Amino acid sequence: MKKTILTALAVSVGMATANAQPKLTATNIDEIIKAMTLEEKAKLLVGGANNFFGDQAVVGGEADLVAGAAGTSPAIPRLGIPATVLTDGPAGVRIDPTRKGTTQTYYATGFPIGTCLASTWNTELVGKVGEAIGNETKEYRCDVILGPGMNLHRNPLCGRNFEYYSEDPLLTGKIGAAYINGVQSQGAGVSAKHFAVNSQETNRTGVDEQVSQRALRELYLRGFEIAVRESQPWTIMSSYNQVNGEYSMGNRDLLTSVLRDDWGFKGIVMTDWIGIRKGLETIAEVQAGNDLMEPGQPAQVKEIVEGVKSGKLDIQDVDRNVRRMLEYIVKTPSFHQYPASNQPDLNVHAAITRQTACEGIVLLKNAQFTMHNAQLAAPCLPWKDGKVKTVALFGENSYNFLSGGTGSGCVHTPYVVDMVEGLKNAGISTSKTLTDIYRKYIEYARVKFQAERHPANWFQQEMFGQQKYPEAAFTPIAIGKEVSEADAAIVTIGRQAGEGADRDIATEFNLIDIERQLIADVCKAFHAAQKPVVVIINSGSVIETASWRDLPDAIICAWQPGEEGGNSMADILTGKVNPSGHLTMTWPMAATDHPSTVGYADPVAVAHNEDIYVGYRYFDSFGKEVAYPFGYGLSYTTFDYSKPAVKVKGGVATVTVTVKNTGAVAGKEVAQVYVTAPRATLRSPLRS
Ligand code: BGC
């Protein structure tokens, strides 16, 4: 009897201990850290989402939390620590649009790509996009969107420029901060990426970016700094590449001294998606201040545990990172058990993407033109009041309009409005036979050219974004037949690019022969009948324009403007919206004009010989001719600027200028202020 009582006592004592296990709250992080075993601490620092590398997932089942999401931070249910879900980014929530066992769909809004967002120069509008993306992140049961992309456009050939904002760090920082504040206002987080100097894709996991401290501070880090100071991102993603001989992921100077000590960053740093790296220990990443290893491999947990046991890794470093992880987790929708609806309001968000794209589209040329049915010359655009009723639409991307780029930056959108639909919605039809032929060609190409364009690049598959198909050639005779069918012609020149590869000059930066011929032949035939030709550039990045820009009457850079692309373009063409987008990077005469093009995508080491002379800082300072300068963009109206007044107070200069619309239609203008360093002892750019 006595023995039974004792046993019962022992059992109840054991239960009491078990019941006393703390559960994570916003205020008991110290207690939780004390209660964690070494294994649990190590586990929390290693992503637990998937089978990326054929490993066993660290925590079973988390991979299925949200199908198609990029990764998770692991759960520790014993202590009430939920898994959190990380999804790409940045142009919208990238999750699988369909799931096994249900007919429900999970399409997400495809917003304009980074360059298009930045070209609005409108932080308020970008903030609205951020809010909508934050809302979709949360409603689709995710916690963090893996964006914004904040690397600089060091060179126009970078395959991921479409995800990034600009060659200018101030613009990058301001647009990035607006996006981040928008997302985070919804109670979801961001991961500003890729920290730092991930300005090329060629051998991005190995290349060493050799860059001076000055260029780092003034250019490559500056955008991140502004974003940290003005928006405190929940997370930052360290880049794959090396900076001055050290992988960013293990770079204590970058991840701790600069990011946290200098700028006051309070969030977590997660790695980019590489798992165990050759030549870099997970231990070194922990020490450097990389809090979360993505996508996570069990061997990394083991390495951390053994590191602590052997004395190679200080438990204080582990605890510091664990604390930051917990501080992040208590902010997340998962922690708050947010009841995700899986039904964000896609219609409301479609309206936001349409408006934003309109403000990011840049009018590059709008020459005077005398139409066959008019007496006087007038600017070619807008096509108002039934001036153009039918358009002959050339170029495969008129029909396969690219809403965004490829790779992790693509979004599975519910639809993409192409140019035929966009024009139709605006009351303009397209010539029938030509439309039919192209539509059939796109169907054919979809089947025939699958995975053929970049066989070496696994990102070039439909699941990683819309593909660009080879351009179809038309004889001058066939083009001539279209002239009587239409009042005007459009030629869309499309470019696709994305993660894992940079662009080449001959076929991706420059126009290929078929495209040149198409523009030349269409212009010749339509001009002979006094009918105008507009070229639309549907690309995430800069292309060569100098050799052909004299031919068409108008040129519009549509970028990759999101799922409502055709509607946004029609709004601009018809003057429903007056263009106000301005370039956020220089359009050079030739790709080789950028000093960084020499040795640009070296797979081993890239010496930044141009130093601080990136983008317009170079072209201006060295008086080099460009096709379209940084900040350029036309409008359907004209503006007058008053003489600027400058007030300096407490080291802050305020510039005031009155901008007056002197034209006949309403419009928006981007007032830009540049400064020149006075009496500089250091060599400085002519203006910045
Ligand atoms: C990309 C990141 C992305 C991650 C997760 C990486 O390969 O570089 O930008 O967020 O994959 O998909």
Separation between Cα atoms, residue 160 and residue 59, nearest integer Å: 32
Question: Which phi and psi (to 5°) does residue 187 adopt?
Answer: 80, 20
Q: Ligand 1, residues 93, 195, 408, 463: which to mutate, most atoms within 8 A of Cβ?
A: 408
Separation between Cα atoms, residue 382 and residue 92, nearest integer Å: 31
In the chain the first and final C-alpha atoms are separated, in Å, by 88
Q: Which two tokens mark 209? A: 């970016």
Q: Is 193 in the pocket of ligand 1 (CB under 6 A)?
A: yes
Separation between Cα atoms, residue 491 and residue 511, nearest integer Å: 13
Closest to 84 (Cα-Cα) out of 341, 336, 317: 336
pLDDT, mean of each 10-residue run, the chain (688 residues): 41 46 97 98 87 44 76 95 96 94 96 98 98 98 98 98 98 99 98 98 97 98 98 98 98 98 98 94 98 95 98 98 98 98 98 98 98 94 95 98 96 98 98 98 88 54 83 96 98 95 96 98 98 98 98 98 98 98 98 97 96 98 98 98 96 95 97 88 90
**What is each CA distance from 204 to 502, 503, 557, 566, 599, in whole angstroms?**
10, 14, 28, 34, 14
Which of ligand 1's atoms lies nearest the C-alpha of 94?
A: 12
CA–centroid distance, residue 434 to ligand 1 (Å)? 40
Residue 257 in 3-state DSSP? Answer: helix
CA–centroid distance, residue 70 to ligand 1 (Å)? 8
CA–centroid distance, residue 29 to ligand 1 (Å)? 30
- Residue 651 CA, chain-centre distance (Å), reads 34
Is 319 a catalytic site residue? no
DSSP type of residue 203: T
- The pLDDT of residue 48 is 82
Q: Ligand 1, residues 85, 88, 113, 274: which to mutate, most atoms within 8 A of Cβ?
A: 88
Number of C-beta neighbours around residue 282 at 10 A: 27
CA–centroid distance, residue 401 to ligand 1 (Å)? 24
Q: Is 410 in the pocket of ligand 1 (CB under 6 A)?
A: no
Q: Is the dihedral of CA 630, 635, 638, 641 positive or negative?
A: negative
Residue 393 in 3-state DSSP? Answer: strand
Q: What's this model's pTM, rounded to 2 decimal places? A: 0.95
Q: Which of 143, 168, 208, 272 is catalytic?
A: 272
Element at 491 (helix H, strand E): strand 488-494
Q: Is 272 in the pocket of ligand 1 (CB under 6 A)?
A: yes
**Residue type, position 656, single letter:** T
Element at 353 (helix H, strand E): helix 346-360
Q: Which two tokens mark 71? A: 């990764």
Q: Is 239 in the pocket of ligand 1 (CB under 6 A)?
A: no
Q: Is 145 in the pocket of ligand 1 (CB under 6 A)?
A: no
- Residue 240 CA, chain-centre distance (Å), reads 17
Q: Is 363 in the pocket of ligand 1 (CB under 6 A)?
A: no
CA–centroid distance, residue 290 to ligand 1 (Å)? 16
Separation between Cα atoms, residue 131 and residue 352, nearest integer Å: 10
Residue nearest to atom 6 of ligand 1 (CA): 273
Residue 587 in 3-state DSSP? Answer: strand
CA–centroid distance, residue 51 to ligand 1 (Å)? 15
**Residue type, position 129, single letter:** V
Alpha helix locations (H) across 513-621?
513-528, 565-573, 616-621
**What is each CA distance from 60 to 295, 374, 668, in whole angstroms?**
14, 71, 53
Q: Is 521 in the pocket of ligand 1 (CB under 6 A)?
A: no
Element at 173 (helix H, strand E): helix 169-184
Separation between Cα atoms, residue 15 and residue 12, nearest integer Å: 5
**Residue bearing tokens 């995508």:** 601
- The pLDDT of residue 464 is 86
Which of ligand 1's atoms lies nearest the C-alpha of 71?
A: 5
Question: Which phi and psi (to 5°) does residue 341 adopt?
Answer: -90, -20
Closest to 232 (Cα-Cα) out of 185, 196, 291: 185
CA–centroid distance, residue 681 to ligand 1 (Å)? 41
Residue 593 in 3-state DSSP? Answer: helix
Separation between Cα atoms, residue 540 and residue 553, nearest integer Å: 22
Separation between Cα atoms, residue 94 and residue 137, nearest integer Å: 9
CA–centroid distance, residue 550 to ligand 1 (Å)? 40
Q: Is 49 in the pocket of ligand 1 (CB under 6 A)?
A: no
DSSP type of residue 642: P
**What beta strand segments (E) does 130-273 contain?**
144-146, 189-195, 208-210, 235-238, 242-243, 246-247, 268-271
Number of C-beta neighbours around residue 384 at 10 A: 13
Q: Is 118 in the pocket of ligand 1 (CB under 6 A)?
A: no
Q: Is 144 in the pocket of ligand 1 (CB under 6 A)?
A: no
Residue nearest to atom 5 of ligand 1 (CA): 70
Q: Is 143 in the pocket of ligand 1 (CB under 6 A)?
A: no
